[in-house]
Amino acid sequence: MNADTTLRVARPTDRLDEVVRFYVTGVGLQKLDEFSDHGGFDGVMLGVPGSPYHLEFTRQRGHPVGRAPTREHLIVFYLPDRAGWKAAVDRMVAAGYHPVAPVNPYWSRVGRTFEDPDGYHVVFQHASWPA
């Protein structure tokens, strides 16, 4: 591993369209690529063009996956700039998503947590990494 490594986190979903809307309209990611019926799978890759990370959401036709196993499954975005953090929170609310209480109270000290359509939590943390 090194700084040139790209990280892709892939996750199945039964609600592909709803999940894509949450991460594009709410979180603010962009659609980087997508595929349809690739060996029975549909999928979308989301991220920020040029960044070393992206999320992939897939749906396998005829194979339901259900919701998140716990509410402690997190994706955390560290947003150190106050105006950028507030804009991210406001964008989520404007898209119809409202903060939820995190399981771990640490995330509510300087952050806001939102639940995606599958029950996974996304945290906008007003902090730098490493914090």
Per DSSP, the residues of 72-122 read: T-EEEEE--SHHHHHHHHHHHHHTT---B--SSTHHHHSEEEEE-TTS-EE
Q: Which residue shows structure tokens 């962009």?
A: 30
**d(Cα 26, Cα 60) in Å, to the nearest integer?**
24
pLDDT digits (tens, 9 = 90+) for 80-93: 999 999 999 999 99
Residues 45, 12 share a domain: yes
Give the CATH number, domain containing residue 96: 3.10.180.10
DSSP state of 5: P
pLDDT digits (tens, 9 = 90+) for 48-61: 999 999 999 999 99
Has residue 68 been placed in a domain? no
Give the pLDDT score at 130. Answer: 84
- Number of domains into which the chain is organized: 2
Give the pLDDT score at 131. Answer: 56
Confidence of residue 3 (pLDDT cuts 50, 70, 90): confident
Domain that holds residue 18: 7-60
Residues 47, 78 share a domain: no
Q: What are phi and psi of 23, to 5 degrees?
A: -80, -25
Has residue 65 been placed in a domain? no
The radius of gyration computed from the CA coordinates of the chain, to the nearest angstrom, equals: 15
**d(Cα 87, Cα 98) in Å, to the nearest integer?**
14
Has residue 31 been placed in a domain? yes
**d(Cα 59, Cα 33) in Å, to the nearest integer?**
15
pLDDT digits (tens, 9 = 90+) for 11-49: 999 999 999 999 999 999 999 999 999 999 999 999 999
